């Protein structure tokens, strides 16, 4: 009985380690070298332009946001935190998807600069 319980405990521990390893190796969850997350952007005090990775989402009213996450609805919704992007024409971004008036793209890297009123502008599109 002791041997069986030990074997089951070991198997469970190995399964947990394997699951953790596969999550940490996922390339879609890590920012490219030099790019920061939306959370890190909001925590910065500097106004200098910086590369930020996130999920780009434009609602049907013309508001474009870079989101920390996209909620799993269809069409997706912007997860928080997020920042509004002033003056970005979503039509200039290749590889987007549109459904029911919402346009989005995952894994976007944009160089953002802080604008007035808490919004950000795209200084250079790097990806």
Predicted TM-score (pTM) of this structure: 0.70
pLDDT at 110: 94
The pLDDT of residue 5 is 38
pLDDT at 39: 95
Q: Count CB atoms within 10 A of the CB of residue 96.
A: 16
Given a cut of 50, the residues of the chain with pLDDT beneath it are 1-31, 126-127
pLDDT of residue 62: 85
Check residue 45 and give its pLDDT.
85
Residue 116 has what pLDDT?
Answer: 77
CA distances from 39 to 3, 108, 110, 117, 123 (A): 47, 15, 14, 18, 19
Q: Say what the pLDDT of residue 32 is.
A: 57
In DSSP notation, 25-63 reads T-GGGSPPTT-B-HHHHHH----S-EEEEEEEEE-TTS-
């Amino acid at each position: 009985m002791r041997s069986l319980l030990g074997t089951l405990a070991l198997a469970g521990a190995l399964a947990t380690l394997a699951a953790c390893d596969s999550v940490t190796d996922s390339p879609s969850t890590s920012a490219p070298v030099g790019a920061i997350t939306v959370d890190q952007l909001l925590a910065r005090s500097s106004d200098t332009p910086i590369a930020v990775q996130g999920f780009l989402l434009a609602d049907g009213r013309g508001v474009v946001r870079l989101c920390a996450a996209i909620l799993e609805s269809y069409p997706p919704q912007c997860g928080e935190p997020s920042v509004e992007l002033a003056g970005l024409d979503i039509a200039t971004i290749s590889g987007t998807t549109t459904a029911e008036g919402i346009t989005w793209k995952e894994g976007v890297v944009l160089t953002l600069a802080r604008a007035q009123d808490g919004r950000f502008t795209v200084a250079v599109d790097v990806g």
